[in-house]
Amino acid sequence: MTEVLVSGASVAGTALAYWLGQHGYLVTVVESHPGLRPGGQAIDVRGPALAVLEAMGLLQAAAERKTNIRGSSVVDRDGNELSRDTESTPTGGPIDNPDIELLRDDLVELLYESTLPRTEYLFGDSIASLDNRGPAVDVKFESGSARTYDLVIGADGLHSNVRKLVFGPEDRFIKRLGTHAAIFTVPNFLDLDYWQTWHYGDSTMAGVYSARDNSEARAMLGFMDAELHLDYRDTEAQFAEVERRMDGEGWVRPQLLKYMRTAPDFYFDEMSQIVLDHWSIGRVALVGDAAYCCSPLSGQGTSVALLGAYILAGELKMATGFDGYVDHGRGFINYFKRFHAYVQRTQFLATDNIAGGAPISQEQFDAIVHSITLLKY
């Protein structure tokens, strides 16, 4: 049986583990966090990615965890409502749409459960080094253990460890978009009822929206600065930067900053894209943000990760003979060929505004989202 090590247990890693398991591979997932990593804002699963969820039997369960946000308000610095919108989402699309909007961590939990019990998880560990030159990949883990796998897949996100070990330093592949955001859970202290509230300050934005049937809320504090590059691991520097930027900008920022320091799931990053002209070297390949992060500004990061996982697993299956031999090179190349143009179109969704052109229309957005036909593997 072909043994695959997947690094990262978020959207791409768990979805890949599911599909590889379906196709008869033996899968281990190593995740650096001690469990599934919580946090993140509400994300959308849309277009063909809904078909992937459906094929996994998760459509209904995902729909049951929808945020069901009814609309949004923009308020002034004292909290007085300036406008309200029950027609469109803050990012522009219609509120009444076929997409499934749910919390990132709720989706990951569903995907994870779908991989049990046949997937082995190594939580709180990470790949320290790997040797990809022979007929298998020799992996040493941070914990000190060592194992050999037929294939290794990096599904470890924007700052991928596998990409760094095998493809090279992040700076070669990252395209920074200059927007920084902190996202974290807060109590629903504004008593929001399936509602989002936003305030735009002089140089920052703040948003709070209710989550999990109003039992809690998620906050987002954002700002733009193309020159700032904080270390994504330096939480103290991130706290300090967010506090400095939000100071004096009004609304409920002081409360949010207090909650931020003790939040169970603080997440901060600069919105960025990853651009590679190949997604595999030898027996190692990348999937999801590790290979082609589109950035939250595209609204497509999660859907693209689900599609990539489905296609990568499917193409490996297609490259597997009756004797069980996997022509991994063929599988990896066909994954790239089938998916690369779609990824490029999707990455454009995040950058068209930044480039200063007219924002693309809803019709153009929909056309790009649907511009892929999935094979049945």
Ligand X SMILES: Cc1cc2nc3c(=O)[nH]c(=O)nc-3n(C[C@H](O)[C@H](O)[C@H](O)COP(=O)(O)OP(=O)(O)OC[C@H]3O[C@@H](n4cnc5c(N)ncnc54)[C@H](O)[C@@H]3O)c2cc1C
Based on CB atoms, which residue is closest to ligand X, 58 or 320? 58
- How far is the C-alpha of 13 from the C-alpha of 260, rounded, in Å? 28
Residue 293 CB, nearest approach to ligand X (Å): 6
- C-beta of 165 vs 316, nearer to ligand X: 165
Least separation in angstroms between CB 42 and ligand X? 8
Whether the CB-CB separation of 305 and 15 falls below 8 Å is answered with yes
In the complex, which residues of this chain contact ligand X (CB under 6 A)?
7-13, 30-33, 37, 39-41, 43, 104, 126, 155-158, 161, 183, 267, 288-290, 296, 301-302, 305
Rounded to a whole number of angstroms, the minimum distance from the CB of residue 84 to ligand X is 23
* Cis, peptide link before residue 117, omega less than 30° from 0: yes
**Which residue has its beta carbon closest to ligand X?**
288
Specify the residue, 312 or 316, whose C-beta has the smaller distance to ligand X: 312
Going across the sheet that includes 81-85, the strands are 81-85, 71-75, 195-200, 204-211, 216-224, 174-186, 267-274
Report the residue number, 47 or 288, with the smaller CB distance to ligand X.
288
Measured CA to CA, the distance from residue 90 to residue 94 in angstroms comes to 9
CB of 201 to ligand X, least distance (A): 20
Least distance between ligand X and beta carbon 143 (Å): 11
Tokens of 357: 């052109």
